[in-house]
C-alpha cells in the first residue's frame, strides 16, 4: 500500500495511491460507484448443492461480506468462518446434509459476529472460498478450472502513475493468453486460466491522480464457459492504450494526453528494484559536529531496504519523494516548505539510504510514526521538537504529584534510592524507610511508574553460590639398605689360645667380638632382617662368620582438607579453621613473653554469576600445619601451602586450580676404600642406602 500526501496551508491534498486495496473498506464506503455492492450487515440464508462431486455452500447476505476469518479444527474435522460485523437472520441453526465431504452446517450467533461451522466427514477435502455479490461461496472438493489445467495465480497487481502513461500491471510469472474488449469508456481485460488471490479482489480508486483512469476493478470469473480473471478499467474519456506482456508481467498503459498530460517536462528516470540489501553492521568514528552528509558517508546507519538504481536530472523533489512512497510501501507526507530540484545518480543502493542522502543534501529531515513518514525542513522539525518539549514540561509542572510506596525485597533501599532519584523530575523526591526497606517516591504519575519499573528490574534475587575446595597432599617414602659384616677366629695349639683374624666372634657364643668388615643395614625390631653364616672345623679351632642384612621401608601418606562455604553473588566469603601454637619470645626489655603462631586452613572466595550461567571466582586458599617431627628449640616448624587465582567454571563443575610436585631422592654407599669398588667381591666391603 502506497500513500503520498502533500500538505499545503494545513490542508491535506488528494494524491493517494492504493495498491492491493489494504485499506479498501474505508475508501469503498466513501467513493464506491453505484454499480458496487454495499457491505453486508445481515446473513439471510444458507443453501447447499452438489454437482459432479463438488459441494457448494452459499452464504446469502444483504450485501458483500467484506471481512471474515477462516478457522480449521482437526478433532473432529471442522471448517469455520467468522463473519465479522454481521448478524444472523437464519432460523435453522443446524442444516443437515448427506454428502461425500459434508455432514451438516451449524450457525452460532455472537454480539460482534456470526460463526458458520462446516462439520466434515473423512478429513479435510480440497476447498475454496470465493466472494459472491450477495455473500460467500464455500466449495468442497476439487473445483474445475479452465481446460482442466492448474490455475495461474496473480502475484502482483496494482496501478502506477508514470510521467507519460497511467499503468496497470498484472504479474503472473508465466506467459498467459489474454484479450481485451473496448466498450464506451471501459476497457475490459480477460485472461483465461488465471485467478486473483482474494487479497487483490478490491477495486482501486485512481481518481485522485491526474490520470484518464478512474477505477480499476479486478474480478474472478468461475462460472460459465470462460473461467479466469476480468479487469474492468473505467475511463474518464477515451484515450489510446496498449497492452504488453514481458517477463511474466502484463502492462496496460493508458496515454496521458489532453488535459491529463504531465504538467512538467518529463525527466529521465531509471528505477530498478532488486533484492533486499544485506545487513552489515559498520561502526565509524564521526565527530559529533559532522554534517548529515558526512554521517551518511561514514556508514553509521544500517540500511535494509530494497536496492534501487535512480537517475534524475532537475526533477521536482515532490515527484522524487512520490517514487519513494511507491518503492517502499510507506505513507509519505511532505510539508509545503519542501521545495527544490533533484539531480542525482545512484546505482544499486538501498532505498532508505538513497532517501537519507536526498534529504541530507536538501537540508531536510523526517519523522516516522508507524507506517507514515513526515518530511520537512530541519529547522521546522527542530522548532516543532522544541515546542513539544516546552508543552511536555508545562504539562509536567501542572500535573498533580502522587506518592507511591515501593517495597524492596532483595536489595537495600538505600542502594536503589540514588538510581531512582535520577529519573524523577525536579519536583520529585525519594525517601527511605529503613525499618521496612521501602522507597517512598513522590512525583508525577509517569515518573512514578518509571521508578516502579526500575525498582522491579533491579530488585531481583541475588544468586547464591556454594563453593567447596579440596586440598590434597600426598606423600610417598621409600628407604632401602643393604649391609654386610664378617670376621673370624682360629686356635693356636702352640700358644694354647684363640687368636682373632682381624676380629671375629667368640667361640663360646658365636657372636660378639670385633669384625673385619662391620657395615650392617639399619635393622632391628620391626625393621629389616639379617642372616648369619658360620663356617668352621669339627675341632672348633677355625671359625669364619658372615652376616648379611637388608631393610626396606615404604610409606604412603595422604591429607585431604575440604573447606566449603556459601555466599551471594559478588560478595566475599571467608572461612578459617586451625590451631594456635604458643612459643616464647624474648622482648627488648629482656623479659620473656608468650606469643602464638596460627596454623590454619583458610578459604577466601568472591564469586560472580555471569548472564550465561557460568561462575567466575576469585579464590585464595591456604593450609598451614605444624610439623612435630622437625622441632626447633622445642617448637614445631610450620608446613605451608597457598594458592591464589581467578577461574571460570560451569555450575557443578570441578576445577583444578593448581598444585606442587616435589621429588627428593638420595643414594649413599659406605665401605672400605678401594675394596668396595671391586666388582662382585666389593659387596663384602660396603653397604648401600637408597632413599
pLDDT of residue 491: 60
CA angle, 520 as apex, 514 and 521 as ends, to 5°? Answer: 160
Q: What is the pTM of this model?
A: 0.37
The pLDDT assigned to 117 comes to 93
Instruction: Provide mean pLDDT across the span 413-421.
Output: 91
Spatial separation of the C-alpha atoms in residues 388 and 378, rounded to whole Å: 15
CA distances from 5 to 11, 164, 213, 424, 474 (A): 10, 21, 20, 40, 86
Q: How confident is the model at residue 541 (pLDDT cuts 50, 70, 90)?
A: low
Where residue 359 falls (left for φ over 0; alpha for ψ -120 to 50; beta otherwise) is alpha
User: Cα–Cα distance between 38 and 134 in angstroms, integer?
Assistant: 9
Task: Report the pLDDT value the prediction gives residue 539, as an integer from 0 to 100.
Answer: 67
Helix (H) and strand (E) counts in the chain: 7, 46
Q: HEC profile for 133-202?
A: CCEEEEEECCCCCHHHCCCEECCEEEEEECCCEEEEEEECCCCCCEEEEEECCEEEEEEECEECCHHHCC
Residue scoring higher pLDDT (29 or 385): 385
> 611 Cβ partners below 8 Å, 6+ apart?
none
Average pLDDT over residues 47-74: 82
Task: Say if residue 390's pLDDT is above 70.
Answer: yes
d(CA 19, CA 217): 12
Q: What is the mean predicted confidence (pLDDT) over 519-525? A: 76
Give yes or no for a cis peptide into 76 (omega within 30° of 0).
yes
Query: Radius of gyration over alpha carbons of the chain, in Å?
Result: 51
What are the tens digits of pLDDT across the range 108-146? 888 888 999 999 887 788 877 777 657 788 888 755 443
Residue written as grid cell 555466599: 567
CB 87 within 8 A of CB 121: no
In this predicted model, which residue has the larger pLDDT, 469 or 3? 469
CA quadruple 84, 87, 93, 96: dihedral sign: negative
Contact in structure between 251 and 168 (CB atoms under 8 Å): yes
Q: Give the Cβ contact number of residue 48 at 10 Å.
A: 18
Say what the pLDDT of residue 154 is: 92
Mean pLDDT of 642-662: 82
> Does the structure show a pLDDT above 60 at 37?
no
Beta bridge partners of 547: 485, 532
393 compared with 237, residue with greater pLDDT? 237
Residue 439 has pLDDT above 90, yes or no: yes
**How deeply is 18 buried, as exposed, middle or buried, from its count of CB atoms within 10 A (0-12, 13-18, 19+)?**
buried
Q: What are the structural domain ranges in the chain?
A: 2-34+148-260, 42-143, 271-386, 399-461, 482-552, 563-649
- Three cell numbers at 263? 504538467
Closest CA to 477 of 665, 289, 349: 665
Q: Is the pLDDT of residue 280 over 70?
A: no
What would the grid cell of residue 424 be? 524523577
CATH number of 2-34+148-260: 2.60.40.3470
Q: What is the Cα 49 distance to its own chain's centre? A: 54
Tell me how far apart the alpha carbons of residues 130 and 220 are, in angstroms, rounded to a whole number. 9
Check: CB of residue 499 under 8 Å from CB of residue 492. Answer: yes
- Domain 399-461 is of which CATH architecture? 2-Layer Sandwich (3.30)
Confidence of residue 23 (pLDDT cuts 50, 70, 90): very low
Distances (CA, A) of 188 to 182, 218, 232, 234, 235: 6, 10, 5, 9, 11
Q: How much is the mean pLDDT over the chain?
A: 77
Can you read off the three cell numbers belonging to residue 27?
475508501
- Percent of the chain scoring above 70 in pLDDT: 81
Checking if the pLDDT of 655 tops 50, the result is yes
Nearest to 31 by CA among 290, 234, 307: 234
Q: Which fold has domain 42-143?
A: Immunoglobulin-like (2.60.40)
Q: What is the mean pLDDT of residues 211-233?
A: 90
CB pairs under 8 A, 24+ apart, for 664-671? 665/691, 666/690, 666/691, 667/691, 670/519, 671/519
User: What is the per-residue pLDDT for 281?
Assistant: 40
Entry field: residues in the chain = 691
Calpha distance 137→132 (Å, rounded): 7
Sheet containing 228-235, strands listed edge to edge, beginning at the edge strand earlier in sequence: 178-183, 186-192, 228-235, 213-221, 204-205
Cα–Cα distances in Å, from 456 out to 416, 462, 612? Answer: 11, 13, 21
Q: Which residue has the cell 459441494?
A: 55
pLDDT band at residue 585, thresholds of 50, 70 and 90? Answer: confident
Predicted confidence at residue 143, as pLDDT, reads 52
- Between 588 and 17, residue with greater pLDDT: 588
pLDDT of 318 over the 90 cut: no
42-143 matches 399-461 in fold: no
Confidence of residue 286 (pLDDT cuts 50, 70, 90): very low
List, in sequence order, the alpha helices (H) in 242-377: 292-298, 317-328, 351-361
Confirm if 114 and 135 have CB atoms less than 8 A apart. Answer: no
pLDDT of residue 142: 58
Which cell goes with 140? 468442497
Nearest C-alpha neighbor of 94 from the set 78, 118, 124: 118
CATH class of 271-386: alpha beta
The better pLDDT of the pair 299, 471 is held by 471
Q: What are the backbone dihedrals phi and psi of residue 31, each rounded to the nearest 5 degrees, phi first? A: -120, 0
Amino acid at each position: 500500500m502506497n500513500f503520498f500526501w502533500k500538505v499545503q496551508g494545513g490542508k491535506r491534498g488528494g494524491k493517494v495511491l492504493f495498491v492491493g486495496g489494504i485499506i479498501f473498506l474505508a475508501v469503498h464506503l466513501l467513493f464506491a460507484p453505484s454499480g458496487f455492492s454495499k457491505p453486508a450487515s445481515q446473513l439471510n440464508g444458507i443453501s447447499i448443492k452438489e454437482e459432479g462431486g463438488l459441494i457448494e455452500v452459499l452464504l446469502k447476505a444483504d450485501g458483500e461480506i467484506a471481512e471474515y476469518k477462516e478457522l480449521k479444527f482437526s478433532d473432529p474435522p471442522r471448517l469455520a468462518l467468522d463473519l465479522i460485523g454481521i448478524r444472523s437472520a437464519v432460523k435453522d441453526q443446524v442444516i443437515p446434509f448427506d454428502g461425500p465431504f459434508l455432514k451438516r452446517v451449524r450457525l452460532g450467533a455472537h454480539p460482534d459476529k456470526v460463526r458458520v461451522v462446516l462439520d466434515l466427514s473423512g478429513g479435510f477435502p480440497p476447498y475454496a472460498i470465493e466472494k459472491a455479490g450477495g455473500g460467500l461461496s464455500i466449495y468442497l472438493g476439487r473445483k474445475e478450472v479452465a481446460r482442466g489445467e492448474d490455475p495461474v495465480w496473480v502475484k502482483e497487481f496494482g496501478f502506477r502513475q508514470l510521467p507519460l502513461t497511467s499503468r496497470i500491471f498484472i504479474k503472473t510469472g508465466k506467459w498467459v493468453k489474454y484479450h481485451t474488449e473496448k466498450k464506451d469508456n471501459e476497457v475490459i481485460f480477460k485472461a483465461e486460466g488465471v485467478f486473483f488471490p482474494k487479497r487483490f479482489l478490491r477495486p482501486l480508486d485512481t481518481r485522485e491522480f491526474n490520470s484518464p483512469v478512474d477505477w480499476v476493478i479486478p474480478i474472478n470469473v468461475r462460472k460459465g464457459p470462460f473461467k479466469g480473471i476480468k479487469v474492468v478499467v473505467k475511463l474518464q474519456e477515451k484515450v489510446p492504450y496498449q497492452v504488453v506482456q514481458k517477463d511474466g508481467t502484463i502492462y496496460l498503459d493508458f496515454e496521458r494526453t489532453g488535459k491529463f498530460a504531465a504538467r512538467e517536462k518529463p525527466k529521465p528516470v531509471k528505477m530498478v528494484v532488486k533484492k533486499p540489501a544485506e545487513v552489515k553492521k559498520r561502526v565509524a568514528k564521526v565527530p559529533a559536529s559532522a554534517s548529515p552528509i558526512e554521517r551518511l558517508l561514514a556508514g553509521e546507519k544500517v540500511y535494509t531496504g530494497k536496492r534501487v538504481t535512480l537517475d534524475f536530472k532537475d526533477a521536482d523533489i515532490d515527484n522524487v519523494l512520490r517514487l519513494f512512497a511507491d518503492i517502499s510501501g510507506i505513507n509519505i507526507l511532505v510539508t509545503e516548505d519542501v521545495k527544490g530540484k533533484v539531480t542525482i545518480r545512484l546505482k544499486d543502493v538501498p532505498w532508505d539510504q538513497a532517501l537519507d542522502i536526498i534529504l541530507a543534501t536538501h537540508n531536510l529531515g523526517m519523522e516516522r510514526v508507524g507506517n507514515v513518514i513526515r518530511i520537512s525542513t530541519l529547522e521546522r522539525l527542530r522548532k516543532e521538537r522544541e515546542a513539544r518539549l516546552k508543552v511536555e514540561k508545562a504539562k509536567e509542572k501542572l500535573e498533580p504529584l502522587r506518592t507511591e510506596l515501593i517495597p524492596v525485597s532483595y536489595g537495600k533501599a538505600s542502594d536503589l534510592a540514588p538510581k531512582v532519584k535520577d529519573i524523577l523530575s525536579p519536583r520529585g523526591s525519594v525517601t527511605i524507610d529503613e525499618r521496612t526497606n521501602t522507597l517512598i517516591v513522590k512525583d508525577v504519575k509517569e515518573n512514578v511508574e518509571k521508578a516502579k519499573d526500575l525498582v522491579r528490574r533491579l530488585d531481583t534475587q541475588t544468586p547464591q553460590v556454594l563453593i567447596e575446595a579440596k586440598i590434597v597432599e600426598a606423600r610417598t617414602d621409600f628407604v632401602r639398605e643393604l649391609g654386610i659384616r664378617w670376621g673370624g677366629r682360629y686356635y693356636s695349639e702352640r700358644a694354647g689360645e684363640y687368636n682373632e683374624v682381624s676380629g671375629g666372634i667368640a667361640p663360646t657364643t658365636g657372636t660378639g667380638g670385633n669384625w673385619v668388615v662391620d657395615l650392617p643395614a639399619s635393622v632391628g625390631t620391626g625393621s629389616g632382617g639379617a642372616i648369619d653364616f658360620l663356617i668352621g672345623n669339627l675341632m672348633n679351632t677355625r671359625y669364619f662368620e658372615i652376616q648379611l642384612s637388608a631393610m626396606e621401608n615404604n610409606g604412603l601418606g595422604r591429607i585431604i582438607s575440604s573447606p566449603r562455604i556459601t555466599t551471594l553473588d559478588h560478595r566475599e566469603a571467608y572461612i578459617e579453621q586451625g590451631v594456635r601454637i604458643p612459643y616464647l619470645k624474648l622482648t627488648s626489655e629482656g623479659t620473656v613473653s608468650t606469643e602464638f603462631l596460627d596454623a590454619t586452613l583458610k578459604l577466601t572466595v568472591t564469586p560472580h554469576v555471569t548472564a550465561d550461567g557460568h561462575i567466575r571466582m576469585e579464590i585464595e586458599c591456604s593450609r598451614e600445619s605444624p610439623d612435630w617431627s622437625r622441632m626447633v628449640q622445642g617448637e614445631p616448624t610450620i608446613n605451608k601451602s597457598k594458592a591464589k587465582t581467578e577461574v571460570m567454571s560451569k555450575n557443578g563443575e570441578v576445577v583444578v586450580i593448581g598444585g606442587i610436585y616435589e621429588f627428593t631422592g638420595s643414594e649413599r654407599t659406605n665401605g672400605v676404600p678401594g675394596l668396595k669398588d671391586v666388582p662382585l667381591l666389593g659387596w663384602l666391603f660396603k653397604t648401600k642406602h637408597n632413599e
